């Protein structure tokens, strides 16, 4: 049996859960979520409707107790379906550290980074676990809560919850090493130095609230594969056969750059809503030409590029995201190693990225 939750934020008077050819009317007390249980072995998907033709998206809950929230996307005039967590319990633990690196983090006053390591319940200290490095540790895990100074309505990625499901489905054991990026250095260290990498686009110069001119990503990349990875190997029982890296927005372009810069180290890259558009595409082309993909084909990571189009920011980013696979292939990158997902309805937030995670793991693992 699978249990899922529906939050009726649209104020539907009647709510039905539909599985196969069956519809079940749901009842809930005021202020509570609707709860629906069904045989996941018999029916793999469910959607909700109001009886008047409006419906949520199709949800594939598998074995995971998840939830659905139907929201109105004013820009698109459509309903969006998101996952949310209901009464989440810890599925493992999160260990927190602060690591210093005088050389690679020289741009920071304290020369250090906050690190959060999600250790799943499957970890026994003996069985080697894969490692996934991820930017924006401050909002990766289910119990992270609000992470912006104004309070963020989208909460966390709930990456730990998703990985628990991946473990149940595929028996994949993964430790997530999150790198905190919630400070004044964010736009500095998640971007390449334009003087070395290539010209910034007009979009970058039109965003005065962020400074993309410094570009300390090379140092952060070296910190990750050097100081941080050495620490993780000493502290945990890990395998180096399937290391991944991921991030969204600024973290999405950072994961992309790190994955291709450290050739052979990372086996897969999650590049969500990536900020490729902040550079001229010619900068990427010059970079790719120097990498000579044809000669190092066996070292190239699999890449999943995702972007939505459901709000103004995503629409600014999606053009370059759609273009990137073609540019990679033009310079010799194997087409079967680059996967793309685009969604007209999804905005630029954690809920949208969270929905893509299961697809990424299915494609890349």
Angle at 333 between CA 327 and CA 336, to 5 degrees: 105
Tell me the pLDDT tens digit for each residue of 85-111: 555 555 788 899 999 999 999 999 999
Domain ranges of the chain: 2-83, 92-364
Closest to 176 measured CA to CA, from 190, 192, 156? 156
92-364: which CATH topology? Rossmann fold (3.40.50)
Tell me if 2-83 shares its fold with 92-364.
no
Q: Which residues contact residue 267 at a Cβ distance below 8 angstroms, ignoring those fewer than 6 apart?
A: 241, 242, 243, 244, 301, 302
pLDDT at position 95, please? 92
pLDDT of residue 151: 41
CA dihedral 53, 54, 60, 66 (to 10 degrees): -140
> What b/e string do you get for 257-296 counting C-beta neighbours within 10 Å, with b at 16 or more?
bbbbbbeebbbbbbbbbbbbbbbbbebbeebbeebebeee
Phi, psi (degrees; rounded to nearest 5) at 256: -60, -50
For residue 337, what are the contacts with CB-CB under 8 A and spacing of at least 6?
300, 301, 302, 303
Quick check: pTM over 0.75?
yes
The residue ranking higher by pLDDT, 114 or 89, is 114
Q: Are 212 and 200 a contacting pair, CB within 8 Å?
A: yes
Its CATH architecture, for the domain 2-83, is: Sandwich (2.60)
Q: For residues 108 and 32, what is the distance between their CA atoms, to the nearest angstrom?
A: 46
Provide the token pair at 254.
């950072």
**Strand runs (DSSP E) across 74-172, as ranges?**
78-83, 92-100, 112-120, 130-135
* Phi, psi at 318, each rounded to 5°: -70, -30
Contact 81, 346 (CB under 8 A): no
pLDDT tens for residues 190-241?
A: 999 999 999 999 998 887 677 788 899 999 999 999 999 999 999 999 999 9
Confidence band of 142 (pLDDT split at 50, 70, 90): low
């Amino acid at each position: 049996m699978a249990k899922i939750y529906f939050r009726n934020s649209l104020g539907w008077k009647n709510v039905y859960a539909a599985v196969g050819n069956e519809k079940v009317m749901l009842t809930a007390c005021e202020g509570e979520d609707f709860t629906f249980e069904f045989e996941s072995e018999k029916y793999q998907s469910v959607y909700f409707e109001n009886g008047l033709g409006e419906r949520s998206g199709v949800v594939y809950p598998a074995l995971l107790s998840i939830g659905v929230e139907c929201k109105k996307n004013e820009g698109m005039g459509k309903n969006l379906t998101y996952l949310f967590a209901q009464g989440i319990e810890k599925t493992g633990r999160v260990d927190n550290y602060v690591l210093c690196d005088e050389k690679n983090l020289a741009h920071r006053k304290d020369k250090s980074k906050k690190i959060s390591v999600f250790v799943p319940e499957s970890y026994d200290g003996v069985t080697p676990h894969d490692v996934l490095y991820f930017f924006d540790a401050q909002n990766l895990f289910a119990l992270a809560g609000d992470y912006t100074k104004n309070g963020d309505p989208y909460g966390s990625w709930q990456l730990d919850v998703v990985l628990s499901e991946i473990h149940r489905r595929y028996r994949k054991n993964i430790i997530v090493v999150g790198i905190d990026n919630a400070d004044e250095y964010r736009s500095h260290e998640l971007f390449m130095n334009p003087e070395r990498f290539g010209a910034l686009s007009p979009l970058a110069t039109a965003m005065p609230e962020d400074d993309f001119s410094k570009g300390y990503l090379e140092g952060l990349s070296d910190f990750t594969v050097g100081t941080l990875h050495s620490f993780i190997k000493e502290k945990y029982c890990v395998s180096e056969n399937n290391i991944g890296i991921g991030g969204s927005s600024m973290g999405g372009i950072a994961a992309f750059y790190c994955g291709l810069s450290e050739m052979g180290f990372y086996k897969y890259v999650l590049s969500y809503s990536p900020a490729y558009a902040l550079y001229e595409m010619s900068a990427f082309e010059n970079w790719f030409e120097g990498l000579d993909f044809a000669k190092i084909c066996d070292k190239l990571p699999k890449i999943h590029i995702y972007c939505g189009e459901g709000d103004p920011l995503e629409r600014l980013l999606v053009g370059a995201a759609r273009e990137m696979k073609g540019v990679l292939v033009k310079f010799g990158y194997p087409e079967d190693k680059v996967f793309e997902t685009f969604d007209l309805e999804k905005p630029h937030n954690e809920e949208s990225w969270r929905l893509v995670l299961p697809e990424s793991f299915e494609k890349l693992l």
